[in-house]
Amino acid sequence: RIVTGPNNERIIMSPSGDITYPETLIHEFVWNNSERYPNHIALECGINGQKYTFAQAKDATSYIGRSLRNIGLKKGDVVALVAPNFPDTILSFLGILSGGFTVTTVNPMYTAEEMMTQLLKANAKAVITSTSVASTALAAKRACLSHETPFIVIDDKTGSMPEGSIPFSDLITRGKSLPPVNSDTTCDDVAILPFSSGTTGLPKGVMLRHRNLVSNIMMVQSSVDIFQFPTSTFQEVVPAILPFFHIYGMNAVILPRLAFGAKIITIPKFVPEIFTDILQKNKVTALFCVPPIVLFLTASSLVKNHHFDHVHLIMSGAAPLAKTDVDRFYEKYNVDSKICQFRQGYGLTESSPVNFIELGEKYSSIGKNIASCQVRLVDVTTQKDVSTSGQTGELWIKGPHVMKGYLNDEDATKNTLTEDGWLKTGDIAYYDEDFDFYITDRLKELIKVKGFQVPPAELEALLRMHPDVEEAAVIGIPHERYGEVPKAFVVVKKSKNPMENDIKNFIKGKVSDYKQLRGGITFVDNIPKNPSGKILRSKLKQSYKP
């Protein structure tokens, strides 16, 4: 299992071995098997019932790509996709890729200011959104992009089409009579630009190539062999509650499940009654969750035993899973843990995303590295590989799924990717005697609220814009339901005396709900810093006792 590298690195190889994967573009890979079951449902809206079969979805994707070329976009242009989970959101994504463009997925819960930052950084040349969030997306577009920038709107049956927008349905109907796109895209071209703050600072575009996305799907598939292709009487049914804009919902749930023939039921927003209604009406076979949803399954009286009658997998990821929550699940429901299995995955945007999956019953572990995922654990102070089980170090990752780098940010790329291709995750871990891994801490500043990224640097920059604030530092503190929430430490200017609520309100309209300072604000005399001015977050964390 351990291989010594050229510079004496201690490389922990995957017990699942290495994989080969096809030289296929991700949008083609998704439909690779679809001719075996063209009339099965691929995508269905959990709210309004809109449906596409595999044949319809595949064709629509191609038409969308043609139409986007036809309205003047050029190969390699970036298209921003700002929409909650709907069938048309996923078709837009695949359509953008089939036209030879790059997609940047934007959180539809964002404020106009947050959207604008991403549109600018990604240099978006068109926006695809949906009626429910179109007014915010339009405000963002107007504030930073030229008047002629195409603004395409999916009719999600809530809200209206802003004037001057292109109806999404036109892309499909008009594309039919356009010539197919002959894009010379290769597997080494950048397919997507999801945003992540990485180990430090503000969100950055993560350049993921077609190769990264396809290889990661195959790495997971060859390590976890539990999904079945459709037959005339069976099809996997997967509710898509995790948002598509985030890499977990995208390349660990929706795209791989489509590629292997599952029916995806899209859910635009987590509403307990809607979620359980979908469990009630469909023979759901797999549930992909973040820990707060696992908590919901164990705690809500809306969830019934028979909802799990067909479920063979409950997957959790994006934040630490508590073993007690899994235990509570099996105590509450009369389900066999061998048939309805809990799994924990560990991933990050920068690795397309999956690196580890737990396959046994060690529910607090992230398990073993998946096929073709090489791992190192590097001592934070000595920068030497740790040599035994139980010792902690920073988790480093290598494989075909690791990003190309951060868009237009050489410094951040250099600090995250070593010259020989290792991705420094910023997570602290150890492994036990079976080489099962455990995440113990986060070296990086990132805060995870309900599995979503909250970069402290973003909140600190906003806090410093308040007229009474001299300095600010933000850390994550534990929260029962959300996992973590942001808490601020603020130094006020001389002779100023703001109230906590003044500052909270100042932040309120500027960032999305999950980034709000739910951990409160503590006024302090100074912020602990190292000699070069870097905030000593560990000191702040120690000083804060819940």
For residue 173, what are its two tokens? 């109907």
**Nearest distance from C-beta of residue 41 to ligand 4UU, angstroms:** 24
Nearer to ligand 4UU, 125 or 368 (CB): 368
Nearest CA to 264 out of 78, 54, 8 is that of 54
**Nearest distance from C-beta of residue 197 to ligand 4UU, angstroms:** 9
**Nearest distance from C-beta of residue 425 to ligand 4UU, angstroms:** 5
Do the beta carbons of residue 371 and residue 17 sit within 8 Å?
A: yes
**Which of left, alpha, beta for 438 (phi over 0: left; psi -120 to 50: alpha)?**
beta
Nearer to ligand 4UU, 55 or 443 (CB): 443
Estimate to the nearest angstrom the gap between the alpha carbon of 412 and the chain centroid.
19
Nearer to ligand 4UU, 412 or 492 (CB): 412
**Nearest distance from C-beta of residue 140 to ligand 4UU, angstroms:** 21
Nearer to ligand 4UU, 73 or 439 (CB): 439
Nearer to ligand 4UU, 261 or 353 (CB): 353
Nearer to ligand 4UU, 80 or 206 (CB): 206
What is residue 250's DSSP assignment?
Answer: I
Nearer to ligand 4UU, 236 or 427 (CB): 427
**Nearest distance from C-beta of residue 175 to ligand 4UU, angstroms:** 32
- Round to whole Å and give the CA distance between 109 and 451: 14
**Nearest distance from C-beta of residue 26 to ligand 4UU, angstroms:** 16
**Nearest distance from C-beta of residue 316 to ligand 4UU, angstroms:** 7
Q: Are strands 393-398 and 423-431 parallel, antiparallel or unpaired?
A: antiparallel
Residue nearest to ligand 4UU (CB): 317
- Round to whole Å and give the CA distance between 77 and 61: 17
Nearer to ligand 4UU, 248 or 308 (CB): 248
Could you list the residues that contact ligand 4UU (CB under 6 A)? 196, 247-248, 252, 317-320, 344-349, 353-354, 366, 425-427, 439, 442, 448, 451, 453
**Nearest distance from C-beta of residue 353 to ligand 4UU, angstroms:** 4
For residue 231, what are its two tokens? 């037959």
Could you tell me which residues come within 8 angstroms of residue 411 by beta carbon, excluding any fewer than 6 positions away?
none
Q: What is the DSSP string of 28-64?
A: HHTTTTGGGSTTSEEEEETTT--EEEHHHHHHHHHHH
User: H or E segment at 258?
Assistant: helix 255-259
For residue 226, count other CB atoms closer than 10 A to its CB: 13
Do the beta carbons of residue 258 and residue 236 sit within 8 Å?
A: no
